[in-house]
Amino acid sequence: MLRSATLTAGHSLELLEGGAQFFPALIAAMDGAAREVRLETYIFDFDPQGIAVAQALERAAGRGVAVFVVVDGVGTPRVPQEWQQRWAQSGVRWQQFQPLGQWGLLMPGQWRRMHRKLCVVDGEWAFCGGINVLDDWLDSRHGPLSAARLDYAVKVRGPLVEQCLQAMQQFWARAQVARQLEHLQWREVRSQWPQWRSLPSSGKPLQALAAQTDAATGAADSHAALVLRDNVRNRSRIERSYLKAIGEARHEVVLANAYFLPGGRLRRALMHAARRGVRVQVVVQGRYEYFMQYHASRPVLGELVRAGVEIYEYTPGFLHAKVAVVDGVWATVGSSNLDPLSLLLAREANVVVYDAAFAQRLQAALLTVISGSTRRWDIAADARRPWHQRVRDRLAFGLMRFLIFFSGIRY
């Protein structure tokens, strides 16, 4: 039984495939907002697509909607001066999470990033997934792309929206207090402290959320949960949700993950599933993007293939998805990669769904990708690669393991 005790009923769910579906839905929700818009994103790129989102935020604030935006200091190192001024004039409030200081990422404390992609509109609708505010057809390092970036998001209405809202409110307040402390603004901290302390730590009780009945959404069988990862109380919730679902799989696991370097527990779960007869299909990045993620993952992929896991490399463009389907009923869509950065260091957000219609739509999309846009991993062909490429694999894998050891966290 894959249904978790944390899942609540009464959700309306819409799968959004890529920016072509995500951005029109996001902008339409912002343009319909009457009270509040909250947005968190790792990357906010002011390309034409990002400007369209920035304008929607500006329009919302201009008509009196409370607008809050959080971007990450690595993913979004700067907001253009023009947009800082426009947002200030319209009333958009924004923060940059942990801007890079003088030493940048050389300081281990700066490795803990805000990688969530969340939006809540009027406390009614939530968006969650892997899609940054970034044009699918552009890349900051590679320029125009020959194929759109492959990614997914989900639009949700139902009880988990309140959990999402409260998590975002709390994160905003904590980031604001942290910045005030950094600048020794003690008077501002004292004035904010009562409001910050009054925020709930983990949203409404599950019983209260479940009591928001199916009549609100007309989706009695759509169970869902917001699953967060942070460095305080939710260090392993996303990983545990994967482990539980894979451990209980009986027929098939279909998984797509951009930066796929699972730790020992997840690797064993996938291999055990394959050995007990579950068909396990994993879609990974087929195009070289980052040295560490590309080379360090290859020894792990070989280990999984030898255990019976099917590995497929996505080749037309860049894979950015972080999704999975188990037995056609359980699914997850979110921001978390299955690698050390996401599972040990970053703030992440996934939506976990128990709903056959939603899961099967996502599974159909993934199977279409596998059949038409991937090449299957071949151990023999991998072994025939030039020796220097295989040496790079081992060096990258060893360096990744050293960094994990250095962090003091078991993975």
122 catalytic? Reply is yes
C-alpha pair distances (Å), 392 with each of 264, 297, 305, 385: 21, 11, 20, 11
The neighbour count for residue 113, using CB atoms within 10 Å, is 20
Q: Which amino acid is at 223?
A: H
Catalytic residue among 11, 223, 320, 339: 320
Catalytic residue among 151, 327, 355, 393: 327
135 catalytic? Reply is no
Catalytic residue among 11, 155, 295, 322: 322
Q: Judge whether 94 and 298 are in contact, CB under 8 Å.
A: no
C-alpha closest to that of 23 among 55, 52, 62: 52
Q: Judge whether 374 and 286 are in contact, CB under 8 Å.
A: yes
Catalytic residue among 117, 155, 223, 295: 117
11 catalytic? Reply is no
Catalytic residue among 11, 45, 72, 115: 115
Catalytic residue among 122, 139, 230, 382: 122
339 catalytic? Reply is no
115 catalytic? Reply is yes
320 catalytic? Reply is yes
Name the residues annotated as catalytic. 115, 117, 122, 320, 322, 327
